Amino acid sequence: VYAGTINGEGTLTLRATKAASDTVLAKIIRMVGDAHARRAPVEQWVAKFARIYTPIVMALAIAIALLPPLIFGGAWDYWFYNALVLLVIACPCALVISTPVSIVAALTASARAGVLIKGGAYVEAPGRTTALAMDKTGTITMGEPEVAAVHPLGKASAQDLMTLAAGLEARSSHPLARAILAGAEADGITVSAAEDTRTVPGRGLEGRTDGRSIWLGSDRFAEEKGFGDAIPKDLRDRIEGAGSTLVAVGDGSGVTGILELRDRIRPDAKDIVAQLHAQGVKTIVMLTGDNERTARAVAAEVGIDEVRAELLPEDKVTAIEELVETHDMVAMIGDGVNDAPAMARAHYAIAMGAVGSDAAIETADIALMTDDLGKVPWLIGHSRRTMSIIHQNIGFSLATKGVFVVATAFGLASMWGAIAADVGVSLLVVANALRLLNSHEAKVPPSGGEQVGPQMAEAALAHGH
């Protein structure tokens, strides 16, 4: 039942799943509110500079008011007037407001584009990105896998396998879970949620149904349970060779069957990776828990530099730590719980498709509210444009102040000129910063996508990716 729903006739019994303060909308509102409290490094630099700049200006004003009359016998009222002119023109208003106005405009433009940035510190970071790590499912691929085939082992039927798998995945929001549930619905299976379900991060799910223990997960999960040999090698090779994902389903006695799931690569993924390279991102790494042959097939198709496959959440953390040691600015793109530890270790983290994902909103420094990977190159460009405008504003403010300070020292500036210059520079830097509000347009991602297939996998292996 959605907020604002009006009950017509009849009685409804509703169960609240969250308090209002824990909803995704409430978290987004808090995140936007907190964004202005996190200052960018350039803002901190301006604040430090102002603390040094102000005493120097005061000292110069005192020197201009006192030294010429005392040393050269100048008129007191004339040089006192010049000192006041200096104080007016040297007022750091334009300098101080140039950065925060630019940051606020950048945050506003990004929010309009569906990119929520948690503060000024993360406006600056994307523009300096040298390495980018990303998950495969839902990031490079569409995140909409389908059950391509069901392979029963032993006495179990295909319907038995789908019933067990759908029961375990009934309460999960993982892309593979959605695929299994959609497959069960297409087969006309009535899903009954398993009891005592437990997620094993990076491996699979466990639960109980009809008094017996059941599980599903990767082939590694099956091996950890002591059933690795129960998966026929030719079947494993065929599934991985086709670029598909293997999901084993079993109970306490062994593996009862295999599900073969296949995803589609985002149609714009290759172009986006090329854009990122063109923007100076030197290393793009795929971190995935999927099998290596499938991962390398996808990476070869889209032009990714490095592949690290069959990773557990803790392995992703290690991979990010290695990147942080060798690169100046490392970003991690993920989609929630399994990627959260690795996202926390990167210099900054981006969450894909944050709508509906509490973990993504809580973990990430930047949240993409849709699944449009094209927002990442836009974000990097937006960051660089923001920093360029900030540097323009700082340079223009300081140059103008410098010219008038020198003119005042020689008695060439008037009070009206100083006031006009101070207000004029302030208005100009604000107007320049507001140009960022026009940079929120982002392209619409194309639909469809190329399905990962055996030819793609063979090509990847042939090229040694």
> What is the band of 331 on the pLDDT scale with cuts at 50, 70, 90?
very high
State how many domains the chain has.
2
Statement to judge: residues 256 and 287 lie in one domain? no
**447 has pLDDT over 50:** no
Statement to judge: residues 234 and 158 lie in one domain? yes
Q: What is the pLDDT of residues 273-304, one digit of tens each?
A: 999 999 999 999 999 888 888 888 888 889 99
Statement to judge: residues 303 and 373 lie in one domain? yes
Tell me the two tokens of residue 63: 């020197």
Q: Beta 131-134 vs 283-287: how paired, if at all?
A: parallel
> What is the band of 85 on the pLDDT scale with cuts at 50, 70, 90?
confident
- Per cent of the chain over pLDDT 90 is 25
**271 has pLDDT over 90:** yes
Query: Which among 97, 103, 109, 89 has a CA at the least distance from the CA of 429?
Result: 97
Question: How far, in Å, CA of 395 to CA of 392, rounded?
Answer: 5
Over range 94-100, report the average pLDDT: 79
Question: How far, in Å, CA of 166 to CA of 216, rounded?
Answer: 10
Statement to judge: residues 151 and 245 lie in one domain? yes
Q: What is the pLDDT of residue 27?
A: 62
Q: What is the pLDDT of residue 215?
A: 93
Query: Which among 352, 148, 372, 368 has a CA at the least distance from the CA of 267?
Result: 372
Q: What is the pLDDT of residue 446?
A: 47
Q: What is the pLDDT of residue 206?
A: 92
Question: How far, in Å, CA of 360 to CA of 335, rounded?
Answer: 6
Instruction: Give kind and range of the element (H or E) at residue 324.
Output: helix 313-326
Over range 202-231, report the average pLDDT: 88
- Per cent of the chain over pLDDT 70 is 84
**97 has pLDDT over 70:** yes
Cβ(219)–Cβ(204) under 8 Å? Answer: no
Tell me the two tokens of residue 32: 């936007």
Radius of gyration of the chain (CA): 30
> What is the band of 442 on the pLDDT scale with cuts at 50, 70, 90?
very low
Residues with Cβ within 8 Å of residue 417, at least 6 apart in sequence: 85, 404
Q: What is the pLDDT of residue 451?
A: 52
Tell me the two tokens of residue 432: 């320049």
Statement to judge: residues 212 and 269 lie in one domain? no
Mean pLDDT is lowest, of 94-103, 126-135, 202-211, 343-352, for 94-103
> What is the band of 93 on the pLDDT scale with cuts at 50, 70, 90?
confident
For residue 439, give the amino acid letter: S
> What is the band of 311 on the pLDDT scale with cuts at 50, 70, 90?
confident
Query: Between residues 165 and 50, which one has the greater pLDDT?
Result: 165
Instruction: Decide which of 262, 283, 303 is a domain's last residue.
Output: 262
Q: What is the pLDDT of residue 461?
A: 39
Buried-state track 432-462, b at ≥16 Cβ within 10 A, e below 16: bbbebeebbebeebeeebbbbeeebbeebee
> What is the band of 350 on the pLDDT scale with cuts at 50, 70, 90?
very high
Q: What is the pLDDT of residues 222-232, one digit of tens each?
A: 999 998 888 88
**356 has pLDDT over 80:** no
Q: What is the pLDDT of residues 374-388, one digit of tens each?
A: 999 999 999 999 999
Query: Between residues 29 and 49, which one has the greater pLDDT?
Result: 49
Cβ(161)–Cβ(147) under 8 Å? Answer: no
Query: Which among 214, 178, 452, 220 has a CA at the least distance from the CA of 313?
Result: 220
Return the axis-axis angle of helices 454-462 and 233-241, rounded to nearest 10°.
Answer: 90
Tell me the two tokens of residue 54: 């102000």
Tell me the two tokens of residue 5: 């729903």
Q: Phi and psi for 448 in degrees, rounded to 5?
A: 90, -130
Over range 76-85, report the average pLDDT: 81
Q: What is the pLDDT of residue 445?
A: 45
Question: How far, in Å, CA of 433 to CA of 386, rounded?
Answer: 8
**What average pLDDT is seen over the chain?**
81
**459 has pLDDT over 50:** no
Tell me the two tokens of residue 223: 């091996």
Dihedral of CA atoms 70, 73, 74, 80 in degrees, nearest 10, equals 20
Statement to judge: residues 226 and 167 lie in one domain? yes
Q: Phi and psi for 208 in degrees, rounded to 5?
A: -135, 145
CA distances from 366 to 21, 103, 115 (A): 21, 15, 7
The answer to whether residue 58 is domain-embedded is: no
Over range 415-426, report the average pLDDT: 78
**61 has pLDDT over 90:** no
Q: What is the pLDDT of residue 116?
A: 87
Over range 445-450, report the average pLDDT: 49
Q: What is the DSSP string of 154-177?
A: TT--HHHHHHHHHHHHTT--SHHH
**35 has pLDDT over 70:** no
Query: Which among 167, 174, 178 has a CA at the least distance from the CA of 200?
Result: 174
Q: Phi and psi for 24 in degrees, rounded to 5?
A: -60, -40
CATH of the domain at 177: 3.40.1110.10
Statement to judge: residues 273 and 343 lie in one domain? yes
The answer to whether residue 107 is domain-embedded is: no
Statement to judge: residues 287 and 372 lie in one domain? yes
Statement to judge: residues 274 and 367 lie in one domain? yes
The answer to whether residue 203 is domain-embedded is: yes
The answer to whether residue 191 is domain-embedded is: yes
Question: How far, in Å, CA of 388 to CA of 96, rounded?
Answer: 16
Query: Could you give the residue numbers annotated as active site?
Result: 135
Domain that includes residue 317, residue range: 116-141+265-379
The answer to whether residue 407 is domain-embedded is: no
Over range 206-218, report the average pLDDT: 90
The answer to whether residue 395 is domain-embedded is: no
Statement to judge: residues 222 and 130 lie in one domain? no
pTM: 0.72
CATH of the domain at 335: 3.40.50.1000
Tell me the two tokens of residue 164: 């067990």
Cβ(349)–Cβ(331) under 8 Å? Answer: yes
